[in-house]
Structure 1
């Protein structure tokens, strides 16, 4: 486990974290060949790690056999070049089954997503994580978002679980996150998991959390990597150009539809030529007018990147 954690730490320090899409064919079945092609395209951009079968990868819609084939394909395509951390979630019993599949397929870790439709006390959340952790030797990153909010008092319980290695944060409450970070073990990994993380990257870095995931990397790794380079060079002028002319309009478009944090990303990938198919129900693809606006925005974003090279 220590080796996997150190590889993930290095990846977080040196590159964007990629959350690939899951490819479906026109009948809504897994398209494994297209998924592999998408993974190869993501890898070619040099991410710090791959996080397949998570929220952007529509974990919520995957059957266990589909999940097994997708994780195995991602691990095979990565071939050890970067860590592969895969999503598990819902109740602890189901999460444990998926974690076992991930471990058998050779994944390097799991991202534990919030339990399904449950608000729970801190003791219950810690016990949920403990039960999943007991089912696998893989390192676990706890994803706090939606109804899951780990309190400072809950950190000690999580720290007592040997294979819990850190947090992905989706709340963007930086005061609270700072307290969690100060209470956590010094070697825990933290990263910014906001819906469009680049928007808040500088704010997260100010409290010692510079690593972030990028939904944009799933469809325009050129833009995601350009922002990352500017971020690490403290090139605020370049960051602000990308934020004002690409990321802010993208967020405004994303906010026009329910489920667009996934379906708009997938529409953008199709516009770039990726054969990833539609989203699965209950999500729905964006209407033509939003796809048209997205296409224009992509053109502008790619032009900004070309102008800086």
Structure 2
């Protein structure tokens, strides 16, 4: 998975909010054409939290069909462990290769509870598990050792960006345990994560501009600091500043940018809201700038 950007595809909806399978299939095709390291359907960017079980089954099934064995498909699961297991079974039946365990719903929990949550899920699915620590989920090194001892837990995606804590986790983990940078707009912190041994990262930008995401990834990999700096300064930082204006824009802006490029992804579902006309106009200008930087067009 560290050989390419990790793709978190958007889930396509019609204007009335119903699932759009044809639009989703078309979106997947553009994502896969860019050669991502893995495909993560029905996760945060894919609005997992708004999907019912039938929709989830369709989304994961379509991702598996489109990937056709060319790249791993890692489906999101979440809520409490009992519901996570229901989604895990659907993903198994759909042919997913692994599961990303999203932070559980609402409550803060002690370390023993975080470990028990993973134990319950691991005991009820044959698929490998990647744990996502973000929000109320944050493992100590001791807890991570317990989680990593579960045979099916293969990695951790970090969304806290606490590099001191993350370094301690990487040192506590067994050899071969996978770590991923899951910070919002991960490219902003990609260099910092790499310094503690975590070069792999997810990219929301890949969902609407794989040309930008792949150029940044290659520049970072090859030590092309000039290109990395230019893309950070002229595209990624302004994008983050726009993203931070309104709660939920981390998904809404990504979907709006995809629509600006003619991708059939449709609107977001409530409680998210689509960007205002003013923010959409600014997004269009920023997207054009980013594409110009990598020799692509809107």
Please report the TM-score for the alignment, with normalisation by the length of structure 1.
Answer: 0.95
Secondary structure of the 1:258 match is coil
Is structure 2 residue 183 aligned with structure 1 residue 194?
yes
CA distance in 1, matches of 2:29, 2:123: 33
Distance 1:13 1:280 in 2: 31
| 1:272 positional shift | 0.7
Residue 53 of structure 1 pairs with residue 42 of structure 2: yes
Secondary structure of the residue that 2:295 maps to in structure 1?
helix
The 5-angstrom pairing of residues 1-309 of structure 1 reads 12-306=1-295
- Please give the secondary structure, in 2, of the residue aligned with 1:75: helix
CA distance in 1 between counterparts of 2:115 and 2:90 reads: 22
Distance 2:246 2:260 in 1: 18
Deviations, residues 204-261 of structure 1 (Å, cap 9, x unaligned): 0001100000000000000000101101110001000000000000000001111011
Residue 7 of structure 1 corresponds to: none
Unaligned regions of 5+ residues in structure 1, if any? 1-11
- Structure 2: how far apart are the matches of 1:132 and 1:283? 29
Q: Distance in 2 between matches of 1:16 and 1:160?
A: 27
Aligned pair count? 296
Q: Return the TM-score normalized by structure 2.
A: 0.98
Q: How far apart in 2 are the matches of 1:35 and 1:276?
A: 7
User: CA separation in 1, counterparts of 2:53 and 2:70?
Assistant: 26
SS at match of 1:14: coil
CA RMSD of aligned residues (A): 0.7
Q: Deviations over 1:256-305 (max 9, x none)?
A: 11101101100000001011111000000010000000000000000000
Q: CA deviation at 1:153?
A: 1.6
Q: Which runs of 5+ in 2 are unaligned?
A: none
Residues of 2 paired with 1:178 and 1:108: CA distance? Answer: 28
